[in-house]
Amino acid sequence: MHSTRKHSGVKQRAKETVSCDDSLLSWNVRICSENNFPTAAGLASSAAGYACLAYSLSQLYNVSGDISDIARQGSGSACRSIYGGFVVWDKGELADGKDSIARQIAPHTHWPELRVLILVVSDQKKQTGSTAGMQVTMETSSLMAARLGESNQLHAVCLDSYPPISYMTDVSRLIVNLVHAYNTYHGQNKVAYTFDAGPNACLYLLEEHVPMVTSLVQHFFPPIQGNKEFLTGLPVKKAKLNQELLSTIAVPIQPTGAIKFIIHTQPGPGPTLCSNKDSLLDNAGMPKAVVIETIDEPSTKVGDKDNQTLKNGVSLARTKVKGKGKTLKVLKSEKSVKATKKEINLKTKHERKDKLRSGQNRVSKLGKRRGEHQGRQAQVKRQKTSQK
């Protein structure tokens, strides 16, 4: 629904500004999207996705000028993601919301030493979505009048809602304790934390503190052994742990995997055009990631399906085929869905026919062997009778 609204919004802007030929506006558009970080887990994946969608459509239809008001229709924060660097979202005063737009106050190059560490506590879809959660909070929280200066107030308001909404976890709160202990040791704020509507922490700090902070995180929240992708993004120099600092941090060492992984990044320039080779669609407009593979799983009855979406935005259909515990895992494009299902059904049918034919052959061979055995028995009887 949001994608359709966004497409209509950009097309309407294109009509108003006569930015392209009318024939182009009549074309159908196929959209393929992927994230390199968890979706719907409180890391503003919707803001990134809708900002890129609005920007891509504006480039397609040659729409110039501010489009943050269109991006906002898909996700409020998407209006800020239209621009890179440091951005504010003006509330606006008009009833139609046309002046509720974003504006850049400084480019991404304004603070080159600034870094961001994203600590992914959970990469699963959160139980309460941001939009639904905010609606409940607006209707039921008595603290809304005092909102929202910073991250802690956001989560206090969520807990004050009815029923209460708890986005942060015990691991989230331990990360908060770690940050406060680090700042106390240094006698001033060196690291700032913020949590969106989810359990995952975003830490803001200067580049010089990244090695020590990442070492502390890995010490108190050790990764699963062999996880080579625990620390991703920008490279990080190794730092030897400060034993004096360690002794001041009252955080128990957690079981391995309490933090799934860390993304090390910095402010960026906003949406940009990719080259054709980086496109997610081929020249025919179909997703490039179309793969069929077989994996071992406990078999179930024929036709059981488990549908989900992978990180590359391509639908995953898992059809469990009765037999030797095999599952056909199919990454499918929109047009190949029916064809793929047909292939699976045909494969299943052929497997059953093969088994049936194999069974018939076994019966035939068994019958033949029985006939031969009976023939030999009759021959022995005739021989005994003739001897008598």
Per-residue confidence (pLDDT) for residue 251, from 0 to 100: 95
Q: Which residue in 68, 79, 60 sits closest to 19, CA to CA? A: 60
Higher pLDDT among residues 313 and 365, named by residue? 365
**R_g of the chain, CA atoms, integer Å:** 30
Higher pLDDT among residues 312 and 54, named by residue? 54
Does residue 267 have a cis bond before it (omega within 30 degrees)? no
DSSP of 129-150: -HHHHHHHHHHH-TTGGG--SS
Kindly indicate the confidence band of residue 266, based on its pLDDT and cuts at 50, 70 and 90: very high
Continuous segment of H or E residues that includes residue 376: helix 336-387
Higher pLDDT among residues 348 and 180, named by residue? 180
User: 112: which 2 tokens?
Assistant: 């080159």
pLDDT tens-place string over residues 28-49: 888 888 877 776 666 777 888 8
| pTM of the predicted structure, to 2 decimals | 0.65
User: Is 320 a residue whose pLDDT tops 90?
Assistant: no
Q: Which residue in 318, 314, 321 sits closest to 290, CA to CA? A: 314
The domain defined by 1-108 folds into Ribosomal Protein S5; domain 2 (3.30.230)
Query: Which residue in the block uniquely carries the two structure tokens 């680090």?
Result: 182
The whole-angstrom separation of Cα 169 and Cα 147 is: 22
Kindly indicate the confidence band of residue 328, based on its pLDDT and cuts at 50, 70 and 90: very low
User: 72: which 2 tokens?
Assistant: 């906002």
Higher pLDDT among residues 121 and 313, named by residue? 121
What CA–CA distances, in Å, run from 172 to 52, 111, 388? Answer: 29, 27, 97
Which residues, at least 6 apart from 40, have a Cβ–Cβ distance to it below 8 Å?
Answer: 46, 125, 126, 129
The whole-angstrom separation of Cα 309 and Cα 206 is: 36
Which residues, at least 6 apart from 310, have a Cβ–Cβ distance to it below 8 Å?
Answer: 289, 316, 331
Q: Do residues 86 and 267 make contact, with C-beta atoms less than 8 angstroms apart? A: yes
Continuous segment of H or E residues that includes residue 318: strand 315-320
Q: Which of 110-114, 138-142, 341-345, 374-378 has the lowest mean pLDDT?
A: 341-345
The average confidence (pLDDT) of the chain is 75
Percent of the chain predicted with pLDDT > 70 = 62
* CA 235 to chain CA mean position, Å: 23
User: Is 302 a residue whose pLDDT tops 70?
Assistant: no
Query: What is the rounded average pLDDT of the residues 263-284?
Result: 88
* CA 53 to chain CA mean position, Å: 16
Kindly indicate the confidence band of residue 149, based on its pLDDT and cuts at 50, 70 and 90: low
Q: Which residue in 68, 45, 44 sits closest to 55, CA to CA? A: 68
Buried b (16+ CB within 10 A) or exposed e, 266-277: ebeebbeeeeee
Per-residue confidence (pLDDT) for residue 279, from 0 to 100: 85
Q: Are strands 326-332 and 292-296 parallel, antiparallel or unpaired?
A: antiparallel
User: 52: which 2 tokens?
Assistant: 């890129």
SS3 104: strand
SS3 23: helix
Per-residue confidence (pLDDT) for residue 140, from 0 to 100: 74
Q: Where are the domains positioned within the chain?
A: 1-108, 284-345
Continuous segment of H or E residues that includes residue 105: strand 102-106
